[in-house]
Amino acid sequence: MNIPAPILTRFTADVLAACGMPAAAAATTAACIIEGDLTGADAHGIFRLPQYVDAFDKKDINPNASIKIIGQGPATALVDGDNGMGHLAVERATRLAIDLARASGLAWVGVRNSNHAGAGGVYAAMAAAEGMVGLYGAVSGFNQMAPWGGAEALLGTNPLAIAIPAGDQPAVIIDTATSVASAGMIKAAALRGETIPQGWMIDPATGDAVTDPAKMMQSLLTPIGEHKGSGLALAIGLLAGTLNGATFGREIPRAGSGFGVNSGQFIIVLDVARFAPPEQFGAKIDRHINDIADSTPLPGIDHVRVPGQARAEKKQDRLAHGVALSAPLAKQLNALAQRFGIPPVS
């Protein structure tokens, strides 16, 4: 079933408010969550709402978080999320980074005492919308990968998102976990009762492939590019976690929900105007995008895609026709509606 985005946003805000969040904070968080759905990051959008509610129930997330900016300088700052919703802390950090970059040319803002913040591309794209480059990284609140060659979960699926503004074309946006598949994709497959491809997870005792998504907690997720993804997850974790005073490695408990563990993120914003006139830069980016999009595809491939194009197409389509919800997810959301006495999504 397809549900209009405004209905999903209002529903999400109502649920978060019912969990104790102030109305304005709930609205901001809901907008970030549904932006993930609109842009194709289905495993990081409203699909996560029941998990957030469960974390509120367990008091793993602070609904009345008082976000503080500490240690601010001309081009740097550290944001303390007070164990609130990660979306709220990272949205605040991103807006601060944009303001600092506008004044200084470049800004790096770290976040600590945060939680899961949804799709990283949402925040990188906020910078691109201002004609700036955005780069986002996060340390996961749950370790599900091993260092390359290891059998112990000491790394998260620590994601990286990069957004580069263009001219008439959609911004170039890369948003990827450092694992072959994100934990959210595997959870979504489990909810739908599907198996997952070989190469997504392995058995830590044998190294054999695991294709049952329900066994995720007993398995290890595999890194992209083998040692390359493992190394990238390590670097992102150290910068988003250790540098910010957030948790990393053995400091992250293996048991628990993954919330309330002092998660960390960072956002870097670069003002393009410090290097080239924005219109000139945008025109050059458009040319490179067109060169790639018009290049010869391999047999069996209809055309070569540039990162960010599908994202923009999905957003346009979903704004017009709504966001598709699977029957199991709609059932979960309507159960929340019944619990909190709010209108159902369908």
Which is nearest to 115 in space by CA: 61, 64, 158?
Answer: 61
Number of domains in the chain: 2
Domain co-membership, 80 together with 108:
yes
Taking the C-alpha atoms of residue 317 and residue 196, their distance in angstroms, rounded to an integer, is 27
CATH number at residue 340: 1.10.1530.10
The verdict on 7 and 98 lying in the same domain is no
Q: Which domain holds residue 21?
A: 1-57+308-346
Regarding whether 312 and 267 lie in a shared domain, the answer is: no
Instruction: Assess whether 101 and 138 both reside in one domain.
Output: yes
Judgement on whether residues 298 and 313 belong to the same structural domain of the protein: no
Residues 33, 52 within the same domain: yes
- Which pTM value belongs to this model? 0.95
40 and 77 co-located in one domain: no
Q: Is residue 201 part of a domain?
A: no
Same domain, 48 and 143: no
Per-residue pLDDT tens digits of the chain, which is 346 residues long: 899 999 999 999 999 999 999 999 999 999 999 999 999 999 999 999 999 999 999 999 999 999 999 989 999 999 999 999 999 999 999 999 999 999 999 999 999 999 999 999 999 999 999 999 999 999 999 999 999 999 999 999 999 999 999 999 999 999 999 999 988 889 889 988 999 999 999 999 999 999 999 999 899 999 999 999 999 999 999 999 999 999 999 999 987 789 999 999 999 999 999 999 999 999 999 999 999 999 999 999 999 999 999 999 999 999 999 999 999 999 999 999 999 999 999 8
Query: How would you classify residue 205: left for phi > 0, otherwise alpha for psi between -120 and 50, otherwise beta?
Result: alpha
Cα–Cα distances in angstroms (integers) from residue 39 to residues 120, 159, 322, in the given order: 11, 16, 12
In a domain, 48, yes or no: yes
